[in-house]
Amino acid sequence: SPAGAPLQLVAISAPQLQLQLTKPHLQVPSSSPKFLEKSRSLKVDTACYDLEDSVTPAQKPSARQSIVSFLSQPRPPHISELSVRINAVSSGLALQDLTSVLEAPNLDALVIPKVNRASDLHFVTDVLRHKLPQRHPSSPDASSKPLKILALIESAEAITNLNEICKASPYLSGLIFAAEDFALDLSLTRTPSLTEFLYARSAIATSARAHDLPSTIDLVCTSFRGAEGVKTLEEECLQGKGLGFNGKQCIHPSQVEVAQRAFAPGEKEAEWAMRVVIGDEKADSSGRGAWTLDGKMIDVPVVGKAKAIVKKAEACGIDVEALREKWKHQEPE
């Protein structure tokens, strides 16, 4: 530069449109024939059939058989993804779980609990490579859908190792936060505000985004009965969404619809987003990069977010064309 100061390069990247529609993730104990059968009739994004904490040690062998038999039957019509939570690698039971469930025809994903370090995922990855090479994400076999892994983050050690965990497996497609085990590990008491989990939840959502992992599933809401249960769940979902999560673990069918609604864009949010998109088209054609809407500044990242909301709203069935028509005269202030 003329003044002799070193030239600084500042990279400004275009905001990415993310279309992440992962929402409720219903836990179904595999040891319960009643719950397995009930899940068949439910409408849920992911059903996660559990072999871990909800199954006692004595029930594990029969639960493995039940889930393999369930996953060998025709797919439940309204569940997008069928996953199995195996036992932790450190439990010594993971290999037996994997050997039982991997061949089940309708298995879409594995949830690996108590992932504390990259080696926990290396173990599972090696088993998958060996036993199911055709379901590796870069397999040339186009007739086999890649198998996904989701890692449960449940300890202080896991939080400090998030970067290496996120890079540990080509199968990894998301992170799930397990608040109860995390509270146990740190001797925390769960409070209604959930502030004790703020650092861990932010770290999980941020790391997943940094490594392009599409699914970020937030903690379980343990109250599920009555109006109070619904209110608590709604508040938790909105807080989790605000931290960057795109899904919620559910433990009871009554929680599913509430979580689905909370994670989808609301009518008001979709309307605001459409106004931004239309206003920006006009601002752009008159050469304005920054403008205002309702007294607030709109610029490139806000427009990027609005476009992502419109896209999500469309995928969630909101009539975005009707919104475009309604707001076609929106002008940038």
Site string for ligand 1VU, 168-187 (x = CB under 6 A): ----------x-x-------
Query: CA 315, CA 306: separation in Å to the nearest integer?
Result: 14
| 247 touching ligand 1VU, by CB under 6 A | no
Pick the stretch among 5-13, 30-38, 94-102, 305-313 that binds ligand 1VU (CB under 6 A): 30-38
- Residues 6+ positions from 1 with CB-CB distance below 8 Å: 7
C-beta of 135: minimal distance to ligand 1VU in Å?
Answer: 25
Residue 308 neighbours by CB distance under 10 Å = 18
C-beta closer to ligand 1VU: residue 104 or 183: 183
| 35 touching ligand 1VU, by CB under 6 A | yes
Query: CA 213, CA 207: separation in Å to the nearest integer?
Result: 8
| 220 touching ligand 1VU, by CB under 6 A | yes
Query: CA 90, CA 321: separation in Å to the nearest integer?
Result: 52
Question: Token match 């994670």: residue?
Answer: 263
Counting every residue written for the chain, the total comes to 333
C-beta closer to ligand 1VU: residue 253 or 332: 253
Contact of 290 with 299, CB cutoff 8 Å: yes
Collapsing DSSP to helix, strand or coil, 283 comes out as helix
Query: CA 45, CA 78: separation in Å to the nearest integer?
Result: 8
Query: CA 77, CA 41: separation in Å to the nearest integer?
Result: 8
Q: Which amino acid is at 228?
A: E
C-beta of 54: minimal distance to ligand 1VU in Å?
Answer: 4
Number of chain residues interacting with ligand 1VU (CB under 6 A) = 18
Pick the stretch among 22-30, 66-74, 161-169, 280-288 that binds ligand 1VU (CB under 6 A): 22-30
The phi and psi torsions of 156 (rounded to 5 degrees) equal -60, -40
| 29 touching ligand 1VU, by CB under 6 A | yes
C-beta of 216: minimal distance to ligand 1VU in Å?
Answer: 14
Q: Which amino acid is at 9?
A: L
| 288 touching ligand 1VU, by CB under 6 A | no
Residue in 22, 46, 54, 83 binding ligand 1VU, rule: CB under 6 A:
54
C-beta closer to ligand 1VU: residue 37 or 333: 37
Interaction site with ligand 1VU (CB under 6 A): 26-29, 34-35, 38-39, 50, 53-54, 178, 180, 220, 249, 251-253
